[in-house]
Amino acid sequence: MFESNDTFVEEAVKSKETPQMKAKKTGLIAIDIILLCCVIIGVHALISAVLLIISGIFTLIIMGNKNIEYEYDYTNGSLEIAKIINNEKRKKVVNIESSEVKLVAEIGTNESLKYDHVQLKTYDCSAHDENVKDYILVAHNEEKGYDFKVLFNPSEKLLNAMKRYNKSCIYTN
């Protein structure tokens, strides 16, 4: 029988809408209504009509991003995170090799507090759900020469797989 020591974990996390996104959608709708009133009343009708079209396009794009999921694929020490929009469009967010990982810890623990006030490029790939534990992953990008952090929601299975390649920097309870 064929045995393999390969490690593969695949997970999907559905993201909830944040208050900032709700405010952005509400603001765009309000702008659309104001511009529509300006077009109907005739106040700077041409300019208002052009701005209404531009604002309407932005509103459609923002409103269309209702169903957002993040997919975590971990294969032999390499973590790839992709964003899936409306179960149609898949966009790679970040790819992290095990040699780049500096820390993985639950947010709020002593280990993660070291990076609370550090200004790093941040990829928010979390569920925005208070019922799910949020983790921080800090890594160093050799090609670009800077550190970055990823906010995500790994399962115990994913954390255990990551421990196989990075025992010293994965902190779990």
pLDDT of residue 1: 46
Which DSSP category does 140 fall into? E
User: Average pLDDT of 136-158?
Assistant: 91
- Give the pLDDT confidence score for residue 6 in this predicted structure: 80
Q: Residue 88: which residues within 8 A CB-CB, separation 6 or more? A: none
Domain assignments of the chain as residue spans, ordered by start: 19-64, 98-171
As a whole number of angstroms, the distance between CA 136 and CA 150 comes to 6
Rounded mean pLDDT of the chain? 89
61: three-class secondary structure by DSSP: helix
Residue 103 and residue 100: Cα distance in Å, rounded?
9
Give tens-digit pLDDT for 65-74: 778 999 999 9
Quick check: 4 pLDDT over 70? no
Q: What H or E segment, with its residue span, contains residue 9?
A: strand 8-15
Region 62-88: mean pLDDT is 90
Confidence class of residue 167 from pLDDT cuts 50, 70 and 90? Answer: confident
pLDDT tens profile 18-65: 888 889 999 999 999 999 999 999 888 899 899 999 999 999 888 877
